[in-house]
Amino acid sequence: MMVTKRRSLRVAVVGVLGATSLALAGTAMAATPAVHTAAVAGARTAAAAKPAITATPSVSSVRAWTLFRVTGKTTGIKAGSKVALQQKQHGKWVALPASTPVNSSGSYALRVELGLKGKNELRMVSGSTASPVFNVTVS
């Protein structure tokens, strides 16, 4: 069983990226469209970044029902979206009642208590995106 303390969710203001071209006289005018096109292509590539989650536990082993933290960063996941903890049980991933919102910088922190003794395989998920598996041994 998990216990999670939630912190207040702060609303992030998302800015809109705008690109403008400045027409200059002479040879600079020929270079401007290429620079503008490269800037727009770079912005599209960043916006189309594949969603990813990292997860790092504060400990590798802990006593049963002792509080520890899982922290990480996300890319391609909106601020305010939930990331949730999953545990592998009998070969299947099971959602645990522990989640937290992603903040405006893309990071998160979750307080966790585990009671299932032994090696626990865990991961963080948001939608269909999952972090790499990490282990916490409970004694």
Q: Which residues, in sequence order, are CB contacts of 42 under 8 Å at separation 6+?
A: none
pLDDT of residue 43: 52
pLDDT average, residue stretch 9-36:
35
Q: Which residues, in sequence order, are CB contacts of 97 under 8 Å at separation 6+?
A: 1, 2, 4
Q: Which residue has the higher pLDDT, 122 or 9?
A: 122
pLDDT of residue 78: 96
Q: At 42, phi and psi to the nearest 5? A: -65, -40
52-138 is classed in which CATH architecture? Sandwich (2.60)
69 pLDDT above the threshold of 80: yes
Task: For residue 8, give the 3-state DSSP assignment.
Answer: coil
Q: Which residues, in sequence order, are CB contacts of 75 under 8 Å at separation 6+?
A: 49, 50, 51, 52, 106
Q: Where are the domains of the chain?
A: 52-138
Q: Average pLDDT over the chain, rounded to whole?
A: 77
128 pLDDT above the threshold of 90: yes
CA atoms of 44 and 39, how far apart (whole Å)? 9
